[in-house]
């Protein structure tokens, strides 16, 4: 019973914190876009804050995922999430490396570095699909 409560608590905390960090990310991205549209070229403290908060929100999401992996008491569920994260890492690192070489040789346009996190989250979804396929066998 205690293991169930621990797992339930870890999952509930994970869901809550992901929602909070995602809401901060979404709100800061929208507000930051409006800020820079209305104040082009501004480099004050507010501008730096508007630029940093979305990135720090994504860092918080990575931290929430890491904490969940530590707190998850069920070894099987932890293994599934670790596999999912490894697949996401392989997708993000692989695509960004290939794109980097294409860009370096002038064969692809420049891509902002924050897209690596977006690709990682897409890879996290791919990892979830891989888990479903593998575990249905």
Q: Where are the domains of the chain?
A: 1-73, 75-136
Alpha-carbon span 61 to 122, nearest angstrom? 14
**99: nearest Cα among 89, 85, 113, 87:** 113
72 C-beta neighbours (distance < 10 Å), count: 20
Q: Residues near 19 by Cβ (< 8 Å), separated by ≥ 6?
A: none
**pTM given for the model:** 0.85
Alpha-carbon span 31 to 37, nearest angstrom? 10
Ordered per-residue pLDDT tens for the chain, 137 residues? 555 555 578 999 999 999 999 999 999 999 988 888 887 877 888 889 988 999 999 999 999 999 999 999 999 999 999 999 999 999 999 999 999 999 999 999 999 999 999 999 999 999 999 999 999 87
């Amino acid at each position: 019973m205690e293991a169930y409560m621990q797992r339930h608590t870890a999952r509930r905390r994970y869901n809550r914190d992901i929602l909070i960090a995602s809401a901060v990310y979404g709100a800061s991205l929208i507000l930051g876009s409006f800020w820079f549209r209305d104040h082009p070229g501004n480099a004050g403290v507010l501008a730096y804050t508007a630029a940093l908060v979305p990135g720090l929100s994504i860092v918080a999401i990575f931290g929430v995922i890491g904490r969940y992996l530590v707190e998850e008491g069920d070894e099987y569920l932890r293994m599934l999430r670790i596999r999912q994260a490894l697949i996401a890492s392989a997708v993000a690192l692989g695509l960004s490396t290939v794109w980097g070489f294409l860009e370096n040789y002038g064969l692809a346009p420049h891509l902002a570095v924050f897209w690596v996190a977006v690709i990682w989250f897409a890879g996290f979804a791919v990892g979830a699909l891989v888990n479903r396929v593998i575990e249905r066998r």
